[in-house]
Every structure is written in structure tokens, then in C-alpha cells.
Amino acid sequence: MVYTKAVEKTAHYDVLVVGGGPAGVCAAASAAREKAKTLLVERFGMLGGMMTSGHVSPILGSVGAGTMSDEIVALLAKAHPGSVAPVTRNGREAQVDVEEAKTVLQNFVHESGAEIFFQTTVIDVLKQGNKVCGVILTTPTGLMAVEADCVIDATGDGYVAMIAGAKYEVGRDGDGYCQPTTLEFVIDGVDETQAITCFGGSDPVCLPDGTKYSEFCKQANQRGELPENVTIVRLHRTHYSGERSVNATQSNRHDTLSLQGISDALLDLRNQIDQVTAFLRKNIPGYENCRVKSSADVLGLRETRRVLGSYVMSDADVENGNHFEDVVVHNAWFLIDIHNPTGGGQAEKHSKMAKAYDIPYGCFVPNGVENLLVTGRCISGTHRAHASYRVMAICMAMGEAVGIAAALCSKSGTTPRLLPVKEIQKVLQDRGIQLFDD
Ligand SMILES: Cc1cc2nc3c(=O)[nH]c(=O)nc-3n(C[C@H](O)[C@H](O)[C@H](O)COP(=O)(O)OP(=O)(O)OC[C@H]3O[C@@H](n4cnc5c(N)ncnc54)[C@H](O)[C@@H]3O)c2cc1C
């Protein structure tokens, strides 16, 4: 079927960012701070991506000093004097109040001078040859075309790059399966005098009778008390007494780039929230009276497309802590955290710690398409490298670097591929961001 329709054309922007997650928020604010006329388009009624609509907390990972990641963590901590973001093997663990984050992030972008279109989805790109020159949006009042000198794909899923014809990979080598999906939720009514917290399957926390909690969860899974692939119920502390953020529900093997896969996963995961809560109430001291306070609005996707760029971040880059002359994100650091794509727990028995590594500019410049940059979890890298750089602190630093690149392209009339990386590095360093070790 061919469907044609005239589309209203509106303003032209220097930089257009698609997706207002951790990467897109920083990309838009960063471009606007370089005085680029910037538009951020977000399909939901809030910014933050997984951090807000996905209820994902805390912000994990770390990068070299001075980036917008530090700025945002400080803004989110402002209402919680005395709250610390401890540095652990997860990088810096910064708690997020999801409701506060919605306001903080939109003001962060708004104050930078960038415009925001909420509840507006990019459905297609405008191209001249292999140059992306704008996008088609569905807005609350219908379709609209917007032109831009440079477009940034911060959709998490690499949707814009895919629709523009860029090459991408999905999942691990061999069977193509991605990390599982999860719906995170928050419970309250927890009795702090008894209740444990648990960061993950390797956390040695015990129940009051001395039973190892991770073993208890595995046995509950075998008894059928927990959903099929849920072998650990992660219970993260929040800013508030009596509350826990629960990262537990899990759905594997769905094709979450398809409508059917997303719908099936959501049908499964919403029901899992009740099952996990019933498990806690029945078995875990201090959780007898807990209740679900809120849950994610959208399916939590850890991994989908990885858009192939002029450099592909490799397993070795992350494992060995490789550094690059064309670095734009310095000293990124997190575990190689692969939730098992086909079962419970982790894919690798002992999740390896990455060594602080650089992300070079080439990871953000997709092959075969011009005037487009990619940022956030969908950049160019392998399945294992992605498992490290996908966390939010690192995605924010990526967004900031790419926002500068896009603004510079617009200013000088060049394309991301031809932009000298030294120019991006100069702006990053002028902002006080560390790019090289002494
Ligand atoms: C269950 C789960 C637990 C996690 N736990 C942690 C954790 O504890 N700590 C941590 O740091 N990280 C964690 N992560 C990883 C982290 O949340 C993500 O990798 C990170 O948010 C990616 O940022 P992003 O900006 O690239 O994409 P996203 O956060 O996915 O944001 C993408 C944005 O783009 C918008 N969008 C998408 N398509 C369009 C379109 N066509 N038009 C307009 N807008 C669009 C979306 O609505 C969204 O707002 C977790 C992820 C999951 C799924």
C-alpha cells in the first residue's frame, strides 16, 4: 500500500536531537550552550528516558571529571543534602528520585536555550542523497516536517539511523539474542529495622536467619515462586526510608524491535510485578507489608541496535582500558554487565570489570549516512563493549560530546565525518573536561 500526504514544514534548526534520555538531554543542552539553535524531540511527556519513564535508578558508571554527568548528578542530589554517591565497582552510584528527575532534566534543557517538543515522535527522515536533512514528526496536531543542519539519534534504539539506512547489529554473536527486558518498580511500606537491600546476584547479603539471599532467590525460582528467569530480586535503597527500587522482572528472547515482541514482553512483565511483590511479602523479613508505589511506563530495554560507525568499540578496548587520540569521552568505567540473554542471572559467571577506557569520536559517526550522529546506548560497539558503556553516567558524557560536534558542524557547514576531532576536544577542554591523563 502506498500512502501519500502533504506535510506542514516548520522552522529550520541548526541541531535536532531525537530522544530525551540521558544522552539526548545532554546532547541538546550541550549544542544549545554552543549557541546552536537546537530542538529536542521526545515521544513521551517527560525527559530522562530510562531514568524516568523506565524507573531506572541509580545512575551508574563513571567518566573523567568535569562532564555534564557531574552537573546532573549534583542537580539531582540538591534536594537531598548529605546524600552521598559512593564509588563502588559500579562506578559512582547516584540515587535518583524519578519524580524530581522529570523536572530537573526538563529545566536543565530549557535553561540551555534548546526548545523541547514533548509527546512528539520522529517517524521518518528527510534525505538528499545520503545526507539526512530533517525528520518527519507525529505531533499532537498531526504530521510535521522539520529541517536541520545536523541530526542526533539519541533514541536508545538507533531508530533514526536505521530509518536513514545506516548499518547496525543486534545482540550477541551466534544467536543474536539481546540482554533481557525488565519493568522496574518501586515499593514502599518496608520495615527498615529488618529489611535487607541487595545490589545484585553477587551481593553476599544474608537474611536475618543467616540464609544467603541470592541462594534463597534461586531456590524460590526453582519452586516456581518467582517468574521463570528471575533468579535474583534486586532491592535498591532510595532516598526515602521504607522504600526500595526493585529491579527483578525479566523477559528473555523476545524480538523487542518488533511490535509483537514489545507487546508480549509487557504483558508478561506487568504480571511479574505482582508475583515478585507476593514473594517479598511472603518470605522476606521487613517486606510483609510492602506495596507497589509506582512502576515504569515503558518496557526497559537494555540492548537493541548498535549502529555501526567509523570505529567499533571492541571487547578488548573495554577490557584493556584502551585510549585513543580522537577521544571524546575519557576514562569511562563500569562492569561488563551482561544480564543473561537466554536465562536467569548473568551471562558471564564473574562479570569482568572494565579498565577505564576512552570512547573515540568514530563510534558516534554512522557509516553510509551523512549529517547524522548517534549517541547513548546505540553507538558503535560490540555486544560486550555495549554491556559496559550503556550505563547512564557514560551516556550523558557521550551526549555532551556529540552535542558539541553537531553544533560545530552547523557553524562551519561541514559534516560530522569531516569535522576535525581536535575542534570537539578543544570545546570539551575549554569546559574543563579531562580528556587525557597527564
Ligand atoms: C531494566 C534496566 C535497568 C538498568 N539499570 C541501570 C542502572 O541501574 N544504572 C544505570 O546507569 N543504567 C542502567 N540501565 C541502562 C540505562 O538506563 C540505559 O542504557 C540508558 O538510559 C540509555 O540512555 P539513552 O539516552 O541512550 O537512551 P534512553 O534512556 O532509552 O532514552 C531514549 C529516549 O528516546 C526517546 N525516543 C525513542 N524513540 C523516539 C522517537 N522515534 N521519537 C522521539 N523520541 C524517541 C525515548 O522515549 C527515550 O526518552 C538500565 C537499563 C534497563 C533497561
Which tens digit of pLDDT belongs to each residue from 265-324? Answer: 999 999 999 999 999 999 999 999 999 999 999 999 999 999 999 999 999 999 999 999
How distant, in Å, are the alpha carbons of 151, 205, 217, 297, 371 from that of 212?
50, 6, 9, 32, 53
pLDDT of residue 238: 95
Average pLDDT in the 366-374 region? 97
For a ligand 1 pocket test, name from 50, 181, 245 the mutation site with the most ligand atoms within 8 angstroms of its C-beta.
50
Pairing of strands 168-170, 305-307: antiparallel
Report whether pLDDT(69) > 80.
yes
Report whether pLDDT(188) > 80.
yes
Which secondary-structure segment (H or E) carries 315? helix 315-320
Beta strands in 29-68 (DSSP E): 38-41
Which of the pair, 85 or 148, is modelled with greater confidence? 148
pLDDT of residue 170: 98
Q: How far is the CA of 184 from the centre of ligand 1 (A)?
A: 13
* Phi, then psi, of 270 in degrees rounded to 5: -60, -40
pLDDT of residue 89: 77
Report whether pLDDT(81) > 90.
no
For the 8-174+303-430 domain, the top CATH level (class) is alpha beta
Instruction: Copy the grid coordinates of residue 405.
Output: 560536534
| Residue-range domain boundaries for the chain | 8-174+303-430, 181-299
With cut-offs at 50, 70 and 90, classify the pLDDT of residue 392: very high
pLDDT of residue 237: 93
Q: Are the C-beta atoms of residues 405 and 38 closer than 8 Å to each other?
A: no
Q: What is the mean pLDDT of the chain?
A: 96
Q: How far is the CA of 44 from the centre of ligand 1 (A)?
A: 12
pTM reported for the whole predicted model: 0.98
Closest CA relative to residue 59, chosen from 296, 392, 301? 392
pLDDT of residue 82: 80
Q: Give CA–CA dist 374/255, Å, rounded.
A: 22
For a ligand 1 pocket test, name from 30, 118, 121, 155 the mutation site with the most ligand atoms within 8 angstroms of its C-beta.
155
pLDDT of residue 236: 94
Q: How far is the CA of 357 from the centre of ligand 1 (A)?
A: 21
With cut-offs at 50, 70 and 90, classify the pLDDT of residue 91: confident
Report whether pLDDT(162) > 90.
yes
With cut-offs at 50, 70 and 90, classify the pLDDT of residue 84: confident
With cut-offs at 50, 70 and 90, classify the pLDDT of residue 201: confident
Q: How far is the CA of 288 from the centre of ligand 1 (A)?
A: 32
Q: Give CA–CA dist 307/365, Å, rounded.
A: 9
